[in-house]
Copies of this chain bind each other. A is one copy, B any other.
């Protein structure tokens, strides 16, 4: 047996290899992990929600306890700043706790009971149904969220809350961070006596391990946050399987942000500061970064862009997440700068591996003739599209692809006239923000972080917020089962005090014996 191949993550600030070698997961180890996950699937699914909640809570505690180490490794591997990473660690723990609450409370399974009627012709059966976990889920770590959307991140928390074992393919840019987070989850799994194989992390600096995972017959769903090309490759692999599986891929979004002329006039310094923060936050590497601004023609718009360019120039240079992202940013901004109809307002070049934020402008007509201008350039860059009439703006927005978010800044008195713009934005995006900024995705029950293709591969779903657990389930019905054979969620006594739908009525009450006799 030969020693496993190993790789080294690179320090994005220096381009140099970090000292710790990371062994590539062997085909044998991968098969063992997936088989263990498949064996864990049924016992893990059958655990009470409170037990899964204990696991997720222990995981949150472990993430909190290991924050210093997580942040130190992630700073080396991603060049994200310490405050950002401390915030992300807190968010990761909070997210695990939110899903723990969901699993503990339990009503999210959408338990439904339709009572029988033996006197009807034909007799009406007893039908009870709920969401059940799909089985082992493959989660791909994201480059831009080494903690909150990687090993212990949102997809992992959602899948575990739903009752699915998880195998994470660590992102190759931050394997040491991933290993610390893996330790946190494995310690939590051991401390709360989860079935062996409930949670594993695998490593590869290429595509083999990830593709093998997606193609493995025991894997039942995939969660992915990354590039459009990466997401589409996983989708194609999943659809080509003898038994296709769902891929929840979050891929690409430029998050259009539209400013009315009055909003620009009234915006002043707070508007410039808000835009600057949203464009440059985390090195502009957030999924909801506003890459496309719609700014009115005329003096007020000119002045705003002048102020914004100055503010972006004054913002500190940042190091992007990886050499590949640096190169893509350099190429994408160079292409924008070279476009005959695009004017450079603020230049992107920095010294060495540092980059400055960039701002470009183009007339609306340029977007119509070159729709590729609306493609995402990942990093701290925005393209301002200058528009004249509301009608022309509305037409241009209609040509946009699907987006995670869209944002409108307009004064309250203008909103009736801007209703058609809001309607177009609603048809394009998963979330529409009024007079705010799309970055800073709130983790809660109502959040929708999804959107029509190509923002995601499944615009019906969300990857942030408690609804994310539902994507890792299917519906299942029991017909004419005795009470003792039903899971507690569907038993007459409603021992878990769930909100259920009984004959179409929402209730927390038990079923009384005479009704079901």
Query: Which 3 pairs show the lowest CB-CB distances between chains A and B?
Result: A448-B477, A112-B446, A114-B446
Q: How far is the CA of A452 from the CA of B110 in the complex (A)?
A: 19
The minimal Cβ–Cβ distance linking A270 to chain B, given in whole angstroms, is: 13
Asked if B426 and A448 sit within 8 Å, CB to CB, the answer is: no
- Contact partner of A504 (CB less than 8 A), chosen from B457, B466, B474, B485, is B466
Contacts of A454 in B (CB 8 A): 243
Q: Are A479 and B114 in contact (CB under 8 A)?
A: no
A-B contact pairs, 29 of them (CB 8 A): A107-B506, A114-B442, A114-B446, A122-B440, A125-B442, A127-B431, A127-B446, A239-B239, A244-B453, A246-B460, A415-B482, A430-B474, A430-B476, A431-B476, A431-B477, A431-B479, A432-B477, A432-B478, A432-B479, A432-B481, A433-B480, A435-B480, A444-B504, A446-B477, A448-B476, A450-B475, A459-B474, A466-B504, A467-B475
Partner of A422, one of B110, B423, B467, B485: B485
Cβ of A503 under 8 Å from chain B = yes
On chain B, the residues within 8 Å of A444 by CB distance are 114, 127, 503-504
CB of A479 within 8 A of CB of B239, answer no
Q: Answer whether residue A124 sits at the interface, using C-beta atoms and an 8 A cutoff.
A: yes
A294 within 8 A of B: no
Please tell me if A412 contacts chain B, counting CB pairs below 8 Å.
yes
Across the interface, which residues of B come within 8 angstroms of A481, CB to CB? 432, 434
Chain B CB within 8 A of A462 CB: yes
Report how many residues on chain A are interfacial, defined by Cβ distance under 8 Å: 70
Q: Are B422 and A129 in contact (CB under 8 A)?
A: no
Inter-chain CA distance A499–B450, complex, in Å, is 24
Tell whether, in the assembled complex, residue B125 and residue A445 are in contact, meaning their CB atoms are under 8 Å apart. no
How far is the CB of A253 from the nearest CB of chain B, in Å? 14
Residues of chain B within 8 A of A457, CB atoms compared: 244
Q: Nearest-CB distance from A237 to chain B (Å)? A: 13
A461 within 8 A of B: yes
A436 within 8 A of B: yes
- Whether A461 contacts B433 by the Cβ 8 Å rule is no
A267 to B477: give the CA distance in the assembly, Å.
25
A447 contacts the other chain (CB 8 A): yes
* Residues of B with C-beta under 8 A to A275: none
- Say which residue of B129, B431, B435 sits within 8 Å of A446 (CB atoms): B129
User: Is A445 a contact of B504 with CB atoms below 8 Å?
Assistant: yes
19 extra A-B contacts, CB within 8 A, seeds A127-B447, A445-B501, A446-B477: A42-B423, A42-B427, A101-B504, A112-B446, A122-B440, A127-B431, A128-B446, A129-B431, A239-B239, A243-B452, A246-B458, A426-B476, A430-B474, A432-B481, A434-B482, A445-B503, A445-B504, A462-B475, A466-B504
Interface members, chain A 235-292 (any B CB < 8 Å): 239, 243-244, 246
Please pick, from B112, B415, B448, B477, the residue contacting A485 in the complex, using a CB distance under 8 A: B415
Q: How far is the CB of A132 from chain B (nearest CB, A)?
A: 8
In angstroms, Cα B457 to Cα A210, docked, is: 24
Rounded to whole angstroms, the CA-CA distance of A448 and B105 in the bound complex is 24
Whether A475 pairs with B448 at a CB distance below 8 angstroms is yes
Residues of A within 8 A of B (CB): 42, 101, 105, 107, 110, 112-114, 122, 124-125, 127-129, 132, 134, 239, 243-244, 246, 401-402, 412, 415, 422-423, 426-427, 430-436, 440, 442, 444-448, 450, 452-454, 457-462, 466-467, 473-482, 485, 499, 501, 503-504, 506
Chain B residues whose C-beta falls within 8 Å of the C-beta of A401 in the assembled complex: 243
Which B residues are CB-close (under 8 A) to A114? 442, 444-447
Q: How far is the CA of A446 from the CA of B467 in the complex (A)?
A: 20
Check B480 against A436 for contact (C-beta < 8 Å): yes
The CA-CA distance from A504 to B125 in the complex, in Å, is: 33
A475 touches B430 (CB 8 A): yes
Among A422, A479, A481, find the residue whose CB has the most chain B CB atoms closer than 10 A. A479
Residues of the B chain whose Cβ atoms lie less than 8 Å from the Cβ of A427:
42
Query: How far, in angstroms, from A423 to B466 measured CA to CA in the complex?
Result: 28
Q: Which residue of B lies closest to A277 (CB)?
A: B122
- Max count, chain B CB within 10 A of own CB: residue among A125, A473, A503: A125
**Residues of chain B lying within 8 A (CB to CB) of residue A459:** 474
A461 with B475, Cβ < 8 A, contacts A244-B453, A446-B114 known:
yes
Across the interface, which residues of B come within 8 angstroms of A440, CB to CB? 122
Cα distance, A431 to B454, chains bound together (Å): 34
